[in-house]
Amino acid sequence: MLRYGLFFLKKGGFLIKEKIIQKSILEYLQYHPDIAWAERMNVGAHVISDKNSRRYVRYAFKGCSDIIGQLKNGKILAVEVKSEKGVLSDFQREFIDKVRSNSGIALMARSIDDVQKALDNYSS
């Protein structure tokens, strides 16, 4: 597989990188009439060192979805974005289940279509 900027060339076509899918979903959510807000969550960690100390800083928490938002009716929205071959981790699956079990909308999305279907199913 060869890399070309934001895409990967694979046998039979291009594979879109996850960050492009995230960006397009966030753009879609900005204009959706039922969405109050939606933001990209940075999940990860790094070490901060200076001459006297060393600290480990974590962003968000394990399993937190890539996109967190809220519907205008107050319900939470959690979208875990995956590329064509991406797989949910156990932590991500647990977070999605937790959101769903508390009346929120949570899903794994590989495209805007997945988000649109989830929101359509919720409102119908």
DSSP 42: P
Longest dimension (CA), the chain: 58
Domains and CATH numbers, the chain: 16-123 (3.40.1350.10)
Q: Residue type at 3? A: R
Instruction: Tell me: pLDDT of 62 over 60.
Output: yes
Q: How far apart are alpha carbons 61 and 65 in whole angstroms?
A: 9
CA contacts within 13 A on the Cβ side of 52: 0
How many Cβ atoms are within 10 Å of 42's Cβ, its own excluded? 9
Q: How far apart are alpha carbons 31 and 93 in whole angstroms?
A: 27
Instruction: Tell me: pLDDT of 77 over 50.
Output: yes
Find the mean pLDDT for residues 84-93: 92
Q: Based on the number of CB atoms within 10 Å of its own CB, is 2 exposed (0-12), middle (13-18) or buried (19 or more)? A: exposed
Q: Whole-prediction pTM value?
A: 0.80
Q: What is the pLDDT of residue 58?
A: 80
Q: What is the pLDDT of residue 3?
A: 41
Q: What is the pLDDT of residue 15?
A: 64
Query: Tokens standing for 92?
Result: 């991500």
Q: Based on the number of CB atoms within 10 Å of its own CB, is 25 exposed (0-12), middle (13-18) or buried (19 or more)? A: buried
